[in-house]
Amino acid sequence: MQKKKKIIAVGISKLLYFTLKELPTVDFECLLDNSYADDSYEGIPVRKYDVLKQEKLENVVFYIFAVSNHSINIIQDRLSGYGVLADQIFLYSDLFKESFENKIHKLFGSDIAQSRYKFAKTATLNSKLTVQTTICGSWLFLESLNNTKDVAGDIAEVGCFEGGNAFLALRSGIVPENKKFFLFDSFEGFPALSEFDPIKHKQGDLKTVLDLDEIKGTFKKFPNVKIIPGFVPGTFSQIDDDSKFSLVFFDCDLYQPACDTLDFFWSKLSKGGLFLLHDYFYEPGGFSGVKKAVDEFSKLKNIESFPIWETTMVVLRK
């Protein structure tokens, strides 16, 4: 009989936190993370990579939980350096793809595509730009674009950072050319935080490394992309009063921008349009402000919400 393989999780992140909560039957032998100070996380032992020198590696598989594409690639290289083979390495999305699929199937019906998952995965891993949306998060964005292609109105990503998620979506060919795609960001990082945001963060965090001209250069082949630099909600004044939107993706991480973005865009969303908000799910000490803003707004307006922990997002449909 084939021996059951041990599962080692690599990289302590919010995705690991939610997996431990939502899929408690997955039995991790230990977690690998060289930068984590304690020797256990959520009751699971934490080890340094050097423990792999003593492991019989043929009996082990690894699941990587790092969020950004660059971190995933660094971890893959590091595991290879210890002799781990490619067919022993999996990603978080392999573990919870099925539960995610069930949810978006309920939301969008049968019109979801494995090809879009494959694209989200390979484009995330191979992107030169940082993508922080997560693999299932970008897949959800692609499915949402597909689901709203016949809904009147434009597209907005509020909090685009260096444009990693938007560029991935544009490369997929799924963004209709007749829709404008607005990208909002201060490119200066966070504004002042509110009392509902995590104290470990401060004004100026997440300032882009690329400068604005480099970010504009990324999108020069896409004439429908409109980059709007500056802090929201001030920059919303650059949107025409009578404009409509089919899809809005909020990813500014913080309470007040979430309130302002919901206030501004909800009335501009066409019937059948979708509002996606990242960081609705947060780990202890994480970005707690978005859930508060969404819950307050959806209660006030009596809006049904579709939370999807596998992406950390919530979806609101008009």
Number of residues lying near ligand SAM (CB under 6 A): 23
Residue nearest to ligand SAM (CB): 159
Give the C-alpha separation, 144 to 9, whole Å: 30
Alpha carbon separation from 71 to 68, 182, 197 (Å, rounded): 5, 28, 25
| Residues facing residue 12 across a β-bridge | none
Q: Does 286 bind ligand SAM (CB under 6 A)?
A: no
Q: How long a stretch of residues is the chain? A: 318
Question: Token pair for residue 50?
Answer: 């050097």
Question: Token pair for residue 306?
Answer: 């579709």
Question: Token pair for residue 42?
Answer: 């959520």
Q: Does 231 bind ligand SAM (CB under 6 A)?
A: yes
Contact range with ligand SAM by CB under 6 A, out of 5-13, 23-31, 185-193, 238-246: 185-193
Q: Does 253 bind ligand SAM (CB under 6 A)?
A: yes
Q: Does 185 bind ligand SAM (CB under 6 A)?
A: yes
Q: Which of 33, 143, 251, 310 binds ligand SAM (CB under 6 A)?
A: 251
Q: Does 264 bind ligand SAM (CB under 6 A)?
A: no
Q: Which is nearer to ligand SAM, 89 or 232 (CB)?
A: 232
Question: Token pair for residue 310?
Answer: 């596998």
Q: Which of 64, 104, 232, 239 binds ligand SAM (CB under 6 A)?
A: 232
Helix, strand, coil fractions of the chain, as percent rounded to 5: 40, 20, 40
Q: Does 215 bind ligand SAM (CB under 6 A)?
A: no
Contact range with ligand SAM by CB under 6 A, out of 30-38, 119-127, 175-183, 252-260: 252-260
DSSP states of 86-153 as a string?
Answer: GGGEEEHHHHHHHHHHHHHHHHHTT---HHHHHHHHHHHHH-SS---S-HHHHHHHHHHHHHTTTSSS
Q: Does 160 bind ligand SAM (CB under 6 A)?
A: yes
Contact range with ligand SAM by CB under 6 A, out of 21-29, 104-112, 245-253, 268-276: 245-253
Question: Token pair for residue 104?
Answer: 């978006």
Q: Which of 36, 71, 191, 201 binds ligand SAM (CB under 6 A)?
A: 191
Question: Token pair for residue 58?
Answer: 């043929």
Residues that bind ligand SAM (CB under 6 A): 131-133, 157, 159-161, 164-165, 184-186, 189-191, 206, 231-232, 251-254, 257
